[in-house]
C-alpha cells in the first residue's frame, strides 16, 4: 500500500492586528483626562468618539481586532465629555 506524503505547509492565517483607530481612540480618551484646557479636552473627546466608532466598525473584519478597546474608548470619552462640560460650566 502506498502512503501519500504531504508537506507540513498549511496556509498560515495572519493573526489579527489591533485597529489603529482603536488605539487612537483610547489614547485620546485617556489623554482628555490630563488636559487642562476645556476646549482641547472636548476636541480630544470628539476625536475619541469618532475614532472609537471607526474602530468598532473595522473590528467586524476577522483580520482586525480591537472592538472591546473601541467600546472602552467610547465609554471613557463619554465620561471625559461629562467632565469637560463641568469644566466649561463651572
Residues spanned by the domain of 29 = 18-74
Q: Is residue 9 part of a domain?
A: no
Q: Is residue 22 part of a domain?
A: yes
Return d(Cα 78, Cα 3) in angstroms, integer: 63
Q: Is residue 81 part of a domain?
A: no
Return d(Cα 52, Cα 78) in angstroms, integer: 11
Q: Is residue 25 part of a domain?
A: yes
The pLDDT tens digits of the residues spanning 4-62 come to 666 666 666 667 777 889 999 999 999 999 998 888 999 999 999 999 999 888 888 77
Q: Is residue 70 part of a domain?
A: yes
Q: What is the number of domains present in the chain?
A: 1
The pTM score is 0.77
Amino acid at each position: 500500500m502506498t502512503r501519500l506524503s504531504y508537506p507540513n505547509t498549511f496556509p498560515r492565517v495572519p493573526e489579527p492586528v489591533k485597529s489603529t483607530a482603536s488605539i487612537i481612540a483610547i489614547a485620546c480618551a485617556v489623554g482628555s483626562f490630563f488636559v487642562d484646557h476645556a476646549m482641547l479636552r472636548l476636541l480630544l473627546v470628539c476625536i475619541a468618539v469618532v475614532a472609537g466608532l471607526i474602530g468598532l466598525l473595522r473590528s467586524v473584519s476577522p483580520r482586525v481586532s480591537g472592538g472591546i478597546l473601541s467600546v472602552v474608548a467610547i465609554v471613557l470619552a463619554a465620561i471625559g465629555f461629562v467632565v469637560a462640560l463641568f469644566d466649561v460650566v463651572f
